[in-house]
Structure 1
Amino acid sequence: MKGGEGIISEIKSKILIIDGNTIEWFNKIFDPIPVSMILVDKETRILMINDQFCNFLEVTKEEAIGKYVIEINPNSRFPLVMKTKKAEIAWKHTFANGHTAIVHRIPILNDDDDVLYGFGMVLFDNIEEFQNIIVKNKLLQTEIKHYKQILKQIQGAQFSWDNIIGKSKKMAQAKEFGRKASKTGSTVLITGESGTGKELFANAIHNDSKRSHHPFVKVNCGAIPQDLLESELFGYEEGAFTGAKKGGKIGKFQLAHQGSIFLDEIGDMPMKMQVKLLRVLQEKEIERVGATNPVKIDVRIIAATNKNLKQLVDEGDFREDLYYRLNVMSLEVPPLRDRLEDIEILTNNLIEKLSNKLGLYVKRISKEAVDILKGYSWPGNVRELENVLERAMNLVEEGEILAMHLPQYLFRRESVVAKSGPIQKLSDLVEEVEREAIVKVLRLNKGNKLKTSEQLGISRSSLYDKMEKYKINV
């Protein structure tokens, strides 16, 4: 559909002087067109009206030609348009016969800005049809958006900085460094223990970079057999080996062209492939298996490992030159035991995520349960925490995770105290464990004091004394 100024310009270039010959010429052109059109003079008398418009207004040409437009359509806004000299484009208008349509009304001006004529046309003479087109257009836009999201999930990064939960100092520093790394084009090496969220950081770095609208391709270097890794990364030509796909295959690096490739578990890459990866970093080109000519690529490498690459270099299991090529921007994701202050916010976030996944309604977690989570060292990091919470949520009956729903091994106090926590007095540790044991058994017995005292092997009065001492209210 042309804009108002485009239509005005086109009509103005063609209409200078209206005479009988011009009107006849107009009729020959516009009558066969199935779009309602009208031309009026500066006094709004009808000079030309095509058959389509006559049928729409339910008049004949003889009845319309020479009359003022308001005589044919009392609701016409042409007098106002001619007075203001301003076009009305795609206006909703209800005609005197009750028909509602979408119309253009355009004043034709000369070089001195005087009104010469007025041109009108009906874009949609059926408002329901117009509304249907709008609805279909919205549906089409929704479908396009949906398929764009699917495409992004298939070949793009799914997570951003908002998906990395934590407000601790160490996590804030890691995210800030990651944001800075995303603004560069340099190779990034993400290190950290298993389950800390290295892949989340890789996704966020890509999504926050200039390459965000291009593919994000993930490769787990430790999960692909050594004899297949080269063809997976670089692709192969037809007939390169027995069983090779007809027409060959594009490798992950070519799929990631102009985007990023995430090489997870880079420490598990075989030495033979390390040599080829080094060439990719140096020459910016790959060579398919069975090919004779290299292919230029533009790919940013984001690598991750839970191993100490420097130690692997010293042991001769990782190339030193490749290590320094990868270690341009090095980002360490802190383990969960070093940011225990994030436990509560992480837990609430994971509960919401798991509730949607499992279809369970769990609204909160008790303070006692959170305290137990904070007292554990989490060797499996966030991944282990998620597994613990999923188990607990499947045991919940009244929408709240309690200490009794947590696995027994969390109640052992060895890890945080032994590995990273402050040294505590033995008496304080005993009281802490004693309090947790009482709370746990009370909840298991739904507050029954007699049963609890019997199971704990203490008198009922001793139980009351300890509940008062530790301010336990169950």
Structure 2
Amino acid sequence: MIATLSRARLLIDRQLPILILGETGTGKEYLARALHEYSSRCRAAMVPVNCGSIPENLIESELFGYSRGAFSGALSSGMKGKVMLAHRGTLFLDEIGDMPAAQQTRLLRVLSEREVTPIGSTEPLKVDLQLICATHQNIESHVEAGTFREDLYYRIAVGIIQLPPVRERLDLAWILQSILESEVPGMTLERNVDREARDILMQNQWPGNLRQMRAAIQYACAVRSDEMIRAADLPSNLMPGKIVSKRHRPGVTQQPSFDMSPDASGSLVERSSARPLKWHTDMRGPSASLPSERDNILRALSASRWNISAASRDLGICRASLYRKLRELRIPHVRDMGSDILMADAG
């Protein structure tokens, strides 16, 4: 990331068109804004345009503007397009891979001639801007398919910056700390996130990248009962049983997979590739087995001093299943309680 950012700073200094590539949520717009703030154009505006969100029949007027009386319903004073609004500043075209073919041609002329002609006008206007584009798509495959102009691609892809997905980054703890501080000033990963929650955050593969990570932290900060974020405060889709599997890479240990499937009697039994369950629950409704199941859980929690990871290993299930059982049996999630109180409840 340090090398990537250093190269991006060199490119913006030379005012070359920049194309930022990366999966959805990797921070492409964050990088574009940071580059604008670092550039010599920082005093002027940065104008963002999402090429995929503007209706095709409006994108031309949105980008290039129109003159007075250009068409029925037009403003009497005309309208400046996004390109002219970015004059002496930065134009950020997000999801440029979704731009219609007709507008690709007009954009190419703007970039080559450094001028724009509003709809209904015959007088071209000179424009001076820094262009930054971004997309999560494989633009080269679109060029090969003929849906994206090859000459425009080579025009915008002078400086290509590839942002890695979160699962491949080595600075995950720094990212989490930065998000925590932005949500609650003074909050730290070491002091305000317990070990179990920290392990879940660090081991998750984050298919939604930074966007998903920020949403998870915002949720945890909103529902926490005190200054500490615990595993129970995290969104349920982050629990180990629902984490997206990591792509196989050398040195990476694959986690056992879990699923819920019916046994011969119709009860849902969790099956693990690592070890069998020591018990299971009939999920179809209340049954006579629930009291003994509660005892088993409380004894395991007592023996592990309410360490969820250790208790789930002793019971032969994953932590997500144990959390689910705690909710079903209405066992409060507490830590480090005295064994006498726990065994009294179990008895």
- TM-score after normalising by structure 1: 0.54
CA RMSD of aligned residues (A): 3.4
Match of residue 381, structure 1, among 204, 209, 214: 209
SS at match of 1:233: helix
**Cα offset, 1:182, TM superposition:** 1.8
Rate the CA distance shift 1:292–1:457 in 2: closer, same or farther, 3 A: same
The CA deviation string for residues 144-183 of structure 1, in whole angstroms up to 9 with x for no partner, is: xxxxxxxxxxxxxxxxxxxxxxxxxxx2222112211221
**1:464 counterpart = 2:303:** yes
Q: Distance in 2 between matches of 1:385 and 1:212?
A: 29
Question: Any stretches of 5+ residues in structure 2 without a counterpart?
Answer: 259-270, 276-289, 312-334, 337-347
The CA deviation string for residues 297-334 of structure 1, in whole angstroms up to 9 with x for no partner, is: 11111101111100111111111110010100000111
Could you tell me which amino acid in structure 2 is paired with residue 409 of structure 1?
N
Rate the CA distance shift 1:376–1:462 in 2: closer, same or farther, 3 A: closer
How do residues 192-207 of structure 1 correspond to structure 2 at under 5 angstroms? 192-207=22-37
Q: Distance in 1 between matches of 2:147 and 2:181?
A: 42
SS at match of 1:249: coil
Could you tell me which amino acid in structure 2 is paired with residue 460 of structure 1?
R
Is the contact between residue 348 and residue 364 of structure 1 (CA under 8 Å) also seen in structure 2?
Answer: no
The CA deviation string for residues 56-94 of structure 1, in whole angstroms up to 9 with x for no partner, is: xxxxxxxxxxxxxxxxxxxxxxxxxxxxxxxxxxxxxxx
The CA deviation string for residues 352-372 of structure 1, in whole angstroms up to 9 with x for no partner, is: 22236xxx9997111211110
Rate the CA distance shift 1:425–1:193 in 2: closer, same or farther, 3 A: closer
Match of residue 193, structure 2, among 350, 355, 365: 365
Match of residue 183, structure 2, among 354, 360, 368: 354
Q: Distance in 1 between matches of 2:210 and 2:256?
A: 31
Could you tell me which amino acid in structure 2 is paired with residue 335 of structure 1?
P
Q: Distance in 2 between matches of 1:452 and 1:181?
A: 67
SS at match of 1:226: coil
Equivalent residue, structure 2, for 1:408 = 236
Could you tell me which amino acid in structure 1 is paired with residue 100 of structure 2?
P
Could you tell me which amino acid in structure 1 is paired with residue 60 of structure 2?
E
**Cα offset, 1:385, TM superposition:** 0.7
Could you tell me which amino acid in structure 1 is paired with residue 49 of structure 2?
V
Could you tell me which amino acid in structure 2 is paired with residue 225 of structure 1?
P
Bigger radius of gyration = 1
Rate the CA distance shift 1:459–1:206 in 2: closer, same or farther, 3 A: closer
Could you tell me which amino acid in structure 1 is paired with residue 228 of structure 2?
E
Could you tell me which amino acid in structure 2 is paired with residue 347 of structure 1?
L
Is the contact between residue 63 and residue 82 of structure 2 (CA under 8 Å) also seen in structure 1?
Answer: yes
How do residues 48-127 of structure 1 correspond to structure 2 at under 5 angstroms? none
**Cα offset, 1:374, TM superposition:** 1.6
Equivalent residue, structure 2, for 1:397 = 225
Is the contact between residue 194 and residue 380 of structure 1 (CA under 8 Å) also seen in structure 2?
Answer: yes
Equivalent residue, structure 1, for 2:262 = none
Could you tell me which amino acid in structure 2 is paired with residue 314 of structure 1?
E
Rate the CA distance shift 1:388–1:414 in 2: closer, same or farther, 3 A: closer
Query: Of Structure 1 and Structure 2, which has the larger fraction of its residues in helix?
Result: 1
Higher RCO (CA < 8 A, seq sep 6+): 2
Q: Distance in 1 between matches of 2:301 and 2:188?
A: 38
Q: Distance in 2 between matches of 1:261 and 1:417?
A: 36
**1:315 counterpart = 2:141:** no
**Cα offset, 1:423, TM superposition:** 4.4
**1:234 counterpart = 2:68:** no
The CA deviation string for residues 126-155 of structure 1, in whole angstroms up to 9 with x for no partner, is: xxxxxxxxxxxxxxxxxxxxxxxxxxxxxx
Q: Distance in 1 between matches of 2:248 and 2:254?
A: 16
**1:284 counterpart = 2:123:** no
Q: Distance in 1 between matches of 2:147 and 2:136?
A: 15
SS at match of 1:415: coil
Rate the CA distance shift 1:428–1:246 in 2: closer, same or farther, 3 A: closer
Q: Distance in 2 between matches of 1:459 and 1:256?
A: 63
Q: Distance in 2 between matches of 1:211 and 1:461?
A: 62
Q: Distance in 2 between matches of 1:257 and 1:383?
A: 30
Is the contact between residue 185 and residue 300 of structure 1 (CA under 8 Å) also seen in structure 2?
Answer: yes
Rate the CA distance shift 1:461–1:283 in 2: closer, same or farther, 3 A: closer
**Cα offset, 1:386, TM superposition:** 0.9
**Cα offset, 1:452, TM superposition:** 12
Question: Any stretches of 5+ residues in structure 1 without a counterpart?
Answer: 1-170, 435-450
- TM-score after normalising by structure 2: 0.72
SS at match of 1:261: strand
SS at match of 1:392: helix
Q: Distance in 1 between matches of 2:306 and 2:214?
A: 32
Could you tell me which amino acid in structure 1 is paired with residue 211 of structure 2?
R
Identity over aligned pairs, percent: 38
Q: Distance in 1 between matches of 2:295 and 2:147?
A: 54
SS at match of 1:412: helix
SS at match of 2:88: coil
Could you tell me which amino acid in structure 2 is paired with residue 375 of structure 1?
Q
Q: Distance in 2 between matches of 1:399 and 1:253?
A: 47
**1:181 counterpart = 2:21:** no
SS at match of 2:223: coil
Equivalent residue, structure 2, for 1:257 = 87
Equivalent residue, structure 1, for 2:74 = 244
SS at match of 2:244: helix
Q: Distance in 2 between matches of 1:456 and 1:330?
A: 60
Q: Distance in 2 between matches of 1:404 and 1:413?
A: 14
**1:330 counterpart = 2:169:** no
**Cα offset, 1:418, TM superposition:** 4.2
Q: Distance in 1 between matches of 2:143 and 2:111?
A: 18
**Cα offset, 1:249, TM superposition:** 1.0
Q: Distance in 2 between matches of 1:301 and 1:462?
A: 58
Rate the CA distance shift 1:316–1:457 in 2: closer, same or farther, 3 A: farther
Is the contact between residue 313 and residue 319 of structure 1 (CA under 8 Å) also seen in structure 2?
Answer: yes
Higher mean displacement: 392-401 or 404-413? 404-413
Is the contact between residue 239 and residue 248 of structure 1 (CA under 8 Å) also seen in structure 2?
Answer: yes
How do residues 139-218 of structure 1 correspond to structure 2 at under 5 angstroms? 171-218=1-48
